[in-house]
Amino acid sequence: MTTQAIVCRTLTKEYQSSRKQPGLRGTLQSFVSSTRVKVTAVSDFNLEISPGEIVGLLGPNGAGKTTIMKMLSGIVAPTRGEASVLGFEPFRRDREFRRRIALVMGQKTQLWWDIPAYDSFQLLQRYYEVSNRDFKERVEVLGTLLGVTHLFHTHLRRLSLGERMKMELMACLLHQPDLCFLDEPTIGLDVVAQKQIRDFFKEYQRVHKTTIILTSHYMADIDALCPRIVLVLGGRKRFDGPIRDFERILGKEKFVSLLFREPVEQSHSMWRDLNPRWDPSGMGVELQIAEDKLREVSISIFSQFPVADYSTEKMPIERVLKELMTNPHLIGE
Amino acid sequence: MASHEFAKWRTTIASSLARQMTYKVDFFLMLIAPSIVFVSVNYTVWRSIFTLRGDAPIGGFSMDEMLRYQCWSLIAAFLIRSHRSWDLSEDIRMGRITAFLLYPFDLWKFHACEFLAFQFVQIVMAAIAIITMITIGLIPLPPLTCLIPGLFFSLSVSALWFLFEFAFGLVAFWLEETWILRFVFNLFAVLLSGAFIPIELFPQSLQAVLRYTPFPLIASLPVHLFLGSNVTPLPFAFMMMAIWMAIMTLASIVTWRRGIGLYSAAGM
């Protein structure tokens, strides 16, 4: 019996997609004979996740992240390969399996639109067989943590996107799942709401040790929550490891931004090996400095030039991901 | 265990009722639409036909008998044929059944609860319609020996109607649009069930074929039970109902098992 929360081997998802040429001609053509092509969304995907881990699935749109989540949560059937999630085969969707997982979809609401959130919670209380005492306690705790207790009896359709997402989170956590799939939980939210949700999950995971798989296009979410990341490009796993290793995947250099009080000499020998990128005014520059020389080079710059501001890159993960999305060949198979 | 399951059904039915009543105008129109159609089509048309023929009987029906038949046909429609599973097709197409693949409460159970909640409202509506019709003299007060079997049969056969609706909804796993399929089925259901034209007016050969279809079960038979003029032996009617229920249950199971393999949870 596996002790891992998730194990999958050579998980593959292919599906048929129909193509239609534009215009009336295309419509008539597709009416007589439709062109179908096989699309491989995920290919030979292997993964192991221990209980209590938080793993970020990274990749551009269409990379296969959500398809992986759908397969692991039992929503879609894999074409090939095998998966074990909490000891269950996901696509069999055993009742016990469903009782122990949760999926939050940032782009889709799972709560009932036409009734207040609290009514939906009560429904979910019954579905997940949560006792009245636990239900009341959890609703109180989660509602307070997320700051939405005053909105419980408002119809869901009358809530803002951020408020709705907080209700979705509550709904998904009422049964205290062992494993939580978070698919873009902060999409479309303002920065304040994004941070609230990040902080909430950090605290929730610290207390409950829930295994979490997160996809997000906001690198701040990944950076704040995920010690480990898995990069998916073109349906294949291209990186799996600690986030700090990922940041250094393209080299151990720090990106430093400098702002000067007055224009400086761009041809100065100081900049020669630092791959400078000057802004048009000549008063700002971005440099790549080897990690082990950061202190020495910085001191030298400070002593020779009128530096007004100095900052190092906040989220190298964003730059690395951007670079790999544009040039996937930079990372080995 | 059983108490948990009962609580799930009861809470889902209550929630479904709450959702149905959220949009009050919509809800009200949904309730009165069949009555409006009845008054403007069934009742008026048959009255005109008999007036044009100088009140001569048609297929053994006098004008009063035909109008009473049409009144009970409306009651049967309230109790049997009003539920629509439009949402199921749309939910499959738009990837909205995902939540029910995750909840430990199956999609069919959820739809069955929606149906039961809807039926609860329809029973109230049917009761109001019966009382109104008796009050204004459209139908005489029915004896309990007709009313109870009529209600029992109607509510039993409404489960068959639900199965038809559910199975058609599941076809959305393959077809982008299922409304035309439903439209055709509903058209046949109205024309061949005796909802508008009593089956007794159809040619003998067609009547013989219809005996083995589900259509007479959803209008002609319950109407005759309400009228106390049952023409088909009840055991045969119940046997046909059981056969069609078994067929539609099997069809739903097979369709679900095959269809779910194609589900892509679009939009997620």
What are the pLDDT digits (tens) for B161-192?
Answer: 999 999 988 988 888 777 788 888 888 888 99
- In the predicted model, what is the mean pLDDT of residues B26-35? 76
Tell me which of A247, A265, A291 is where a domain ends: A247
Whether A111 and A195 share a structural domain: yes
- A203 lies in the same domain as A298: no
CATH of the domain at A75: 3.40.50.300
* Interfacial B residues in 23-42 facing A (CB < 8 Å): 23
Q: Do B22 and A115 touch (CB under 8 A)?
A: yes
Quick check: is A258 in a domain?
A: yes
Q: How confident is the model at residue B105 (pLDDT cuts 50, 70, 90)?
A: very high
In angstroms, the Cα distances linking B192 to B75, B212, B219 are 17, 12, 9
Q: Kindly list the averaged pLDDT for each block of 10 residues, start to end, along chain A of length 333.
A: 85 83 74 78 94 93 91 93 95 94 86 89 94 94 90 91 90 94 87 87 91 90 92 92 85 86 88 88 88 88 92 79 79 67
Contacts 24+ apart (CB under 8 A), B181-187: B182/B84, B182/B86, B186/B81
Q: How far is A110 from chain B (nearest CA, A)?
A: 6
Residue ranges making up the domain that contains A234 = 6-247
**Does any CB of chain B come closer than 8 Å to the CB of residue A66?**
yes
The whole-number pLDDT of residue A333 equals: 60
So what's the pLDDT on residue B87?
76
* Alpha-carbon gap: B247 to the closest alpha carbon of chain A (Å): 25
B102 → closest Cβ in A98, A120, A183 = A98
Locate the chain B residue with the closest alpha carbon to A101: B102
Q: Which of B8, B15, B268 sits opposite A66 (nearest CB)?
A: B268
Interface test mutation site (partner A, options B12, B102, B106, B263, max chain A beta carbons within 10 A): B102
Q: In terms of pLDDT, which residue wins out, B55 or A44?
A: A44
Residues A80 and A105 in one domain: yes
Question: What is the predicted ipTM?
Answer: 0.83
**Of A76, A115, A120, Cβ closest to residue B265:** A76
Is A110 among the domain residues?
Answer: yes
Q: Give the residue-averaged pLDDT of B135-163.
A: 93
Q: Write down the pLDDT at residue B2.
A: 79
pLDDT at A322: 82
pTM of the model: 0.83
Contact A75 B96 (CB under 8 A): no
Q: State the pairing for strand pair A101-105/A179-183.
A: parallel
More confident residue, B264 or B202: B202
**Does residue B72 carry a pLDDT above 90?**
yes
CATH number of the domain at A275, please.
3.30.70
The 10 Å Cβ neighbour count of residue A269 is 7
Q: How far is CA B69 from CA A284, B33, B63, B72, B194, in A?
A: 89, 19, 10, 5, 10
For B214-264, write each residue's pLDDT tens digit: 999 999 999 999 998 867 788 999 999 999 999 999 999 999 999 998 888
Q: Which residue has the tokens 């998916």?
A: A232
Instruction: Name the domain boundary from A204, A232, A247.
Output: A247
Hey, which residues 118-137 in chain A have their CB within 8 Å of chain B?
119-120, 122-124, 126-129
What pLDDT is attached to residue B86? Answer: 67
Tell me, what's the pLDDT at B268? 60
Q: How confident is the model at residue B202 (pLDDT cuts 50, 70, 90)?
A: very high
- How far is residue B78's CA from residue B195's CA, in Å, rounded to a whole number? 12
